[in-house]
Amino acid sequence: MSRRIDIVEVGPRDGLQNDPANLTTSQKLEFIERLIECGVTRMESGSFVSPRAVPKMADSAEVFAGLNRSGAVRHIALALNEKGVRRAIDAKADEINFVLVAGEGFGQKNQGMSPQESADMLAQCAPLVHEAGIPLSATISVAFGDPYTGDIAKGVVGGLAAQAQRAGVGEVGIGDTIGVADPWLVEDRIEEIRLHAPDVFLRVHFHDTRNTGLANVAAAVKAGVDVVDASCGGIGGCPFAPAATGNVATEDVVYMLERAGFETGIELSKMIDTAKWLSGILGHDIPSSLVRAGMYDG
């Protein structure tokens, strides 16, 4: 049997949080339904952050209330402080993804926290999530470089992952928020986390800002990572990162992995159609290569 790589679709959160379009709650719900029809089983469906900081996510509680919960889909809520975690629990999120930050500059701009303060906040919030019986994961943002304070010293990401493991986090995502990673650094970060936090599952979260996104996914999968974040159409980015661009496009990741013999459970032609539909409701072009090139049936 071929190896399975699980895709976590982040379009409804990372994808939409910085897009110029203002989708209605029902358009977001339609996007989520279409993604489920493509075979997505795990997705970040919204974030519980300050609506003043990220106005596009202000209706996440309404999005969660409107979800069709009949299938076996895990809807993840992103949070980065106690208020957000409490709101995510109230919204009946199936999983909470907590944002740790590896860089001081981005940490202050994005969430008003130093890296250590983000880890302390996780330790404070984790018991609430465990009591609610909800799986807890964490993504370490700017794990490869901070747009304000530069490279991340060796050991910082491993140290944060160790604190996440101690807080009972099951899965740690390594986030390249500003798209500065390269495949060799990806291997180093994976090794570092395995050394400091051997019990957590690993996930990777790449933005394709400098054309290294897919190469980074390939490096992570070669290093044994089984879970990859991606965004339909390749839309998105962080409002607090200058010149932010989208995540690796789900259909591009699925194409690469399935062509190489991995299984993702995602129907590529439907994902391409969904990305085209998304481009239509957003009212602008999207970065996806597969939307431009089309299917290859060779």
Task: Identify residue 74 by its one-letter amino acid code.
Answer: R
Q: Which of 53/223 has CB closer to ligand COA?
A: 53
Binding mask 134-173 toward ligand COA (x if CB under 6 A, else -) reads -------x--------------------------------
Decide if 238 is catalytic.
Answer: yes
Q: Which of 49/230 has CB closer to ligand COA?
A: 49
270 exposure class (CB count in 10 Å sphere: 0-12, 13-18, 19+): middle
Nearest-5° angle of CA 178, CA 182, CA 186? 95
Is residue 49 part of the contact set for ligand COA (CB under 6 A)?
yes
- Which span (31-39, 78-86, 90-98, 122-130) binds ligand COA, by CB under 6 A? 78-86
Residue nearest to Zn ion (CB): 14
Q: Is 61 helix (H, G, I), strand (E, B) or coil?
A: helix
Q: Which of 286/297 has CB closer to Zn ion?
A: 286
Is residue 19 part of the contact set for Zn ion (CB under 5 A)?
no
- Spatial separation of the C-alpha atoms in residues 5 and 98, rounded to whole Å: 22
Q: State the binding partner of 132 from Zn ion, ligand COA, none, CB within 5 to 8 A by kind.
A: none
Q: In 211-244, which positions are buried (b, 16+ CB within 10 angstroms) versus exposed (e)?
A: ebbbbbbbbbbebebebbbbbbbbbbbbebbeeb
HSE-up of residue 152 (Cα within 13 Å, Cβ side): 35
List 38, 125, 232, 238, catalytic entry: 238
Among 7, 13, 14, 91, binds Zn ion (CB under 5 A): 14
Q: Which residues are catalytic?
A: 238
Residues contributing to the site for Zn ion (CB under 5 A): 14
